[in-house]
Amino acid sequence: MSETQQPIERRFQGVGVSPGIARGTVFVIRPEDEELPTRKIDESEIPGELARFEAALVKTREQILEMQQRIAESIGTKDASIFDAHLLVVEDRTLIDEVLRTLDRDRWNIEHVFHQVASRYAKTLSEIDDPYLRERALDINDVCRRVLRNLMGHEAKSPAQIDVPHILVAHNLTPSDTAQLNRKLVLGFATDVGSRTSHTAIMARSLNIPAVVALRNVSEGLLTGDHVLLDGYSGLVIINPSDQTLWEYGELEVKKSAVDVKLDELRETISTTLDGRHIALSANIELPSDVELVKQSGAEGIGLYRTEFFYLNKEELPNEEEQYENYCIVAREMGNQSVIIRTLDLGGDKFMSALQLPAELNPFLGWRAIRFCLERVDVFKTQLRAILRASALGNIRMMFPMISGVDELRRANAVLEECRQELRNEGIPFNEEMEVGAMIEVPSAALVADLLAKECDFFSIGTNDLIQYTIAVDRINERIAHLYEPTHPAIIRLIKIIVNAAHAHNLWVGVCGEMAGEISLTPLLVGLGVDELSTGAALVPRVKRAVQSLDVGVCLQLVDEVKNMESAEAILEKCEAVAKTYYPELMV
């Protein structure tokens, strides 16, 4: 427990899902720690914290003795003797003295101090090659949890309330946890599970928080207070980075920021190819507060506003007025630029407690998005009325998620028409010409795109879902992430079918899934004839640079070369080769 030698650098490899480099102190959240209160205390509070600590130790001792007694009575004293080791923990002078010293020196509340010291103690013991000491480590963890529960009573704290800058480490973060993160305090985050197209990852990119997921056991391997460097580009978390590592990352940051400065200069320019084809470049948002970054990015508008995030962290469903206010903020901020509001896409990996959606075995194939809205017409109409009303103020378009066929789109349009009629009757203004689109993210919709095209004004391809449903690869399951291939020949064929159907009916077609932000795939999407690309704000300048460096002829030739290829990997290589030829500086 005393000071050790120079700490050794260790690396965890995962998947980088939000670019950037963060350095700082780790804050680990384990399920049992979620309630752990953490705050700085004054010197005058130390006696009170000590008294609470003593009381918690006494209570823990009583509980262990009571348990020992019960076990002895029911199954015998031999089994009950395992609790002797637990009793030794509450009386362990080395542990208790270290807690007292740390409390006096660092001045955090006692729960935080005890948790830190006990975890470190247990970890040190577990790393020693001695079965007896490893057993002791397990005892310490067990008793530590008990002491903490006794200390905490009902005080609760959520991850969003940690009030010092930190790198958040957890087994998993839900999209709603992520939506609540404070981007000023959370320097980066790392999780054991997760994938690139989960809404947690998408949210991290929108918030511009560097993030690494799919690290498997990082939440077990790190302790609160550890120093790490998190590399959101290549998916590394480096604990105790050496001087050499820090130097290398310093160099990398210099290179990256030189590219960023150049990209910054593109803000006011238009994303037009070398031979003059304009590809509308928009940004995706989850919350109105994301608009600030969108404006800085030089996007031409908002191509996807994922409205469900406004619902996620609420006790009750937001009413029409609240939603209207929300959409008006975005519409006003964006002035005459287009804002595409996507109607509620709850379900899948996004749930709202107020709605108590039933647990399903396959939530991504279940009662989500438009399926939910067409049954809960009350919820749907509230949102549609709010969107229509906001359309009187700005350049608003709207689209429905998860459309799987014509009938569904007609039913959604019919509910929309009902809302229009209600507003007309009430004399409330809205834009009668507001464009209404369908997201194409289910293979069945792609295959009947020619029929859907007669029922709407535009298509937006949601490649995140289109890929998961076409290849049957759960988009948030890191075990099968290697099968999630945007350049799978089936995806390319489906995109072509959608674009052809749209253009044959004079509709424009965008891509708003994560594929739109992959600069190695820009030549492919341009070659396939896509009219708009919408991506996280942070990626907009890169995509713009890519578009401006390309020639449509080159992109068409690429599509011609890959259209009959069999392997996703080989197609990706071809795409990367074009990207490296035309914008090598972005492909570092």
The active-site residue out of 112, 115, 199, 488 is: 199
Report the C-alpha gap between 148 and 144 in whole angstroms: 6
Residue 522 contacts ligand PEP per CB under 6 A: no
Smallest gap from Cβ 459 to ligand PEP, in A, equals 12
Report the C-alpha gap between 452 and 440 in whole angstroms: 10
Q: What is the DSSP letter of 231?
A: E
Q: Of the two residues 465 and 531, which places its CB atom closer to Mg ion in the complex?
A: 465
Q: Which stretch binds Mg ion (CB under 5 A): 36-44, 171-179, 265-273, 457-465?
A: 457-465
Residue 441 contacts Mg ion per CB under 5 A: yes
CB neighbours of residue 405 within 10 Å:
14
* Total residues in contact with ligand PEP, by rule CB under 6 A: 10
Q: Of the two residues 463 and 522, which places its CB atom closer to ligand PEP in the complex?
A: 463
Q: Which two tokens stand for residue 212?
A: 């690494």
Q: Which stretch binds Mg ion (CB under 5 A): 87-95, 191-199, 435-443, 527-535?
A: 435-443
Q: Which stretch binds ligand PEP (CB under 6 A): 40-48, 179-187, 272-280, 456-464?
A: 456-464
158 half-sphere exposure, CB direction, 13 A CA radius: 11
491, 470 Cβ separation under 8 angstroms? yes
Smallest gap from Cβ 360 to ligand PEP, in A, equals 16
Q: Which stretch binds ligand PEP (CB under 6 A): 35-43, 227-235, 462-470, 537-545?
A: 462-470
| Type of residue numbered 26 | V
Residue 345 contacts ligand PEP per CB under 6 A: yes
Residue 441 contacts ligand PEP per CB under 6 A: yes
The distance from CA 253 to its chain's CA centroid, rounded to whole angstroms, is: 23
Residue 205 contacts ligand PEP per CB under 6 A: no
CA dist 9 → 123, 170, 244, 507 (Å) = 16, 20, 10, 55
Non-local CB neighbours of 496 within 8 Å, separated by 6+ positions: 528, 529, 559, 563
Report the C-alpha gap between 188 and 230 in whole angstroms: 7
Closest CA to 216 of 427, 363, 14, 388: 14
Q: Of the two residues 208 and 245, which places its CB atom closer to ligand PEP in the complex?
A: 208
Counting every residue, how long is the chain? 588
234, 15 Cβ separation under 8 angstroms? no
DSSP secondary structure of 36-56:
----B--GGGHHHHHHHHHHH
The distance from CA 209 to its chain's CA centroid, rounded to whole angstroms, is: 10
Q: Of the two residues 159 and 303, which places its CB atom closer to ligand PEP in the complex?
A: 303
Smallest gap from Cβ 341 to Mg ion, in A, equals 15
Smallest gap from Cβ 29 to ligand PEP, in A, equals 25
Residue 300 contacts Mg ion per CB under 5 A: no
Among 38, 176, 343, 464, which residue interacts with ligand PEP (rule: CB under 6 A)?
464
What per-residue string of b and e applies to 422-434 under the rule 16 or more CB within 10 Å gives b? ebeeeeeebbeeb
Per the annotation, the verdict on 115 as an active-site residue is no
Smallest gap from Cβ 342 to ligand PEP, in A, equals 8
Per the annotation, the verdict on 512 as an active-site residue is yes
Residue 512 binds which of Mg ion, ligand PEP, none (CB < 5-8 A, kind-dependent)? ligand PEP
Q: Of the two residues 166 and 350, which places its CB atom closer to Mg ion in the complex?
A: 350
Is residue 537 classed as helix, strand or coil in its secondary structure? helix
Among 194, 462, 486, 527, which residue interacts with ligand PEP (rule: CB under 6 A)?
462
Q: Which two tokens stand for residue 312?
A: 């996620």
Q: Which stretch binds ligand PEP (CB under 6 A): 52-60, 143-151, 461-469, 483-491?
A: 461-469
Q: Which two tokens stand for residue 535?
A: 């991506």
What per-residue string of b and e applies to 543-566 under the rule 16 or more CB within 10 Å gives b? bbbbbbbbbbebbeebbeebeeee
Residue 512 contacts ligand PEP per CB under 6 A: yes
Report the C-alpha gap between 70 and 83 in whole angstroms: 11
Non-local CB neighbours of 96 within 8 Å, separated by 6+ positions: 57
Residue 435 contacts ligand PEP per CB under 6 A: no
Residue 532 binds which of Mg ion, ligand PEP, none (CB < 5-8 A, kind-dependent)? none
Q: Of the two residues 303 and 529, which places its CB atom closer to ligand PEP in the complex?
A: 303
Q: Of the two residues 437 and 513, which places its CB atom closer to ligand PEP in the complex?
A: 513
Site string (289-328) toward ligand PEP, x via CB under 6 A:
---------------x-x----------------------
DSSP secondary structure of 338-355:
EEEEEP---BTTB--GGG
Residue 462 contacts Mg ion per CB under 5 A: yes
The distance from CA 143 to its chain's CA centroid, rounded to whole angstroms, is: 34
Smallest gap from Cβ 400 to ligand PEP, in A, equals 12
Smallest gap from Cβ 19 to ligand PEP, in A, equals 18
Smallest gap from Cβ 52 to ligand PEP, in A, equals 45
Residues at the interface with Mg ion (CB under 5 A): 441, 462, 465
Residues taking part in catalysis? 199, 512
Residues at the interface with ligand PEP (CB under 6 A): 304, 306, 345, 441, 462-465, 512-513
